[in-house]
């Protein structure tokens, strides 16, 4: 197994802290969150201690169980909200299973209903999310910048070419696949009804 870089470890610590904080804010026990999101108690405990490298599928389940968007789990500690997110401060994370790389573009904690994410999806990669009805409706629009991408939402299959944009609501199982020979790169715009960025409460 490839050794983790300091940046990789920092992202794992960030995810660990966010999951702990969000669970504490909601007053959920490990058992309650496990039952709600379908991730085992032992796995959640390992993630919260920064001792596991969760896959995108596991993190999506945790985000759904915590009532936040996936991008919220990568949010860095912050002080006052700012409208600018410098490139060097944008959180990057690589899925250990598929190898896809995601980068949070939006300024953390800024009071906006929209979050932007850039994704680089390797050739031949496939990720299947078991999305279903959520407490908060989450909408996405995906704009393909390079390569090719196939998205299956429920029973509908969408083959995206460069420049195509797909709008969808995340209320059904969804599969992302790259059938091409080069990495796909795309931008994701995400919004949730009545969504406010999850922030650490202050007195």
Query: Taking residues 50-59, what's their average pLDDT?
Result: 93
User: Tokens 């804010």 appear where?
Assistant: 25
Q: Is the pLDDT of residue 16 over 90?
A: yes
d(CA 183, CA 123): 5
Half-sphere exposure of 80 (CA within 13 A, CB side): 2
Question: Where are the chain's structural domains?
Answer: 6-74, 87-192
pLDDT in tens, 85-129: 999 988 899 999 999 999 999 998 788 889 999 999 999 999 999
Classified as helix, coil or strand, 18 is helix
d(CA 74, CA 184): 22
Q: Which CATH architecture fits 6-74?
A: Orthogonal Bundle (1.10)
Q: Is the pLDDT of residue 14 over 70?
A: yes
**What are 107's two structure tokens?**
């300024």
Residue partners of 185: CB distance under 8 A and separation at least 6: 118, 119, 120, 121, 144, 145, 146, 147
The per-residue pLDDT for 67 is 86
- Reported as a pLDDT band with limits 50, 70 and 90, residue 192 is confident
* Assigned fold of 87-192: Jelly Rolls (2.60.120)
pLDDT in tens, 130-167: 876 667 788 999 999 999 999 999 999 999 999 999 99
β-partners of residue 116 are 189
The yes-or-no answer to whether 6-74 and 87-192 have a common fold is no
- Reported as a pLDDT band with limits 50, 70 and 90, residue 79 is low
More confident residue, 164 or 74: 164
Q: How far from each other are the two terminal CA atoms of the chain, in whole angstroms?
A: 44
d(CA 33, CA 68): 13
Query: Taking residues 168-195, what's their average pLDDT?
Result: 91
Task: Say which DSSP state 131 is in.
Answer: -
pTM over 0.75? The answer is yes
């Amino acid at each position: 197994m490839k050794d983790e870089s300091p940046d990789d470890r920092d992202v794992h610590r960030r995810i660990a802290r966010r999951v702990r904080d969000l669970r504490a804010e909601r007053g959920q026990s490990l058992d309650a969150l496990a039952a709600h999101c379908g991730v085992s108690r032992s796995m959640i405990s390992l993630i919260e201690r920064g001792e596991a490298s969760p896959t995108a599928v596991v993190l999506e389940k945790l985000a759904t169980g915590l009532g936040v968007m996936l991008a919220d789990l990568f949010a860095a500690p912050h002080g006052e909200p700012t409208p600018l997110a410098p490139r060097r401060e944008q959180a990057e994370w690589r899925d250990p299973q598929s190898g896809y790389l995601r980068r949070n573009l939006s300024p953390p904690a800024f009071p906006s209903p929209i979050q932007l994410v850039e994704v680089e999806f390797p050739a031949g990669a496939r990720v299947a999310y078991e999305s279903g009805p959520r407490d908060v409706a989450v909408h996405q629009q995906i704009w393909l910048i390079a390569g090719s991408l196939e998205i299956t939402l429920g029973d509908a299959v969408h083959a995206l070419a460069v420049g195509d944009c797909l709008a969808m609501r995340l209320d059904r199982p969804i599969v992302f696949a790259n059938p091409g020979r080069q990495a796909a790169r795309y931008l994701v715009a995400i919004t949730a009804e009545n969504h406010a960025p999850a922030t650490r409460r202050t007195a």
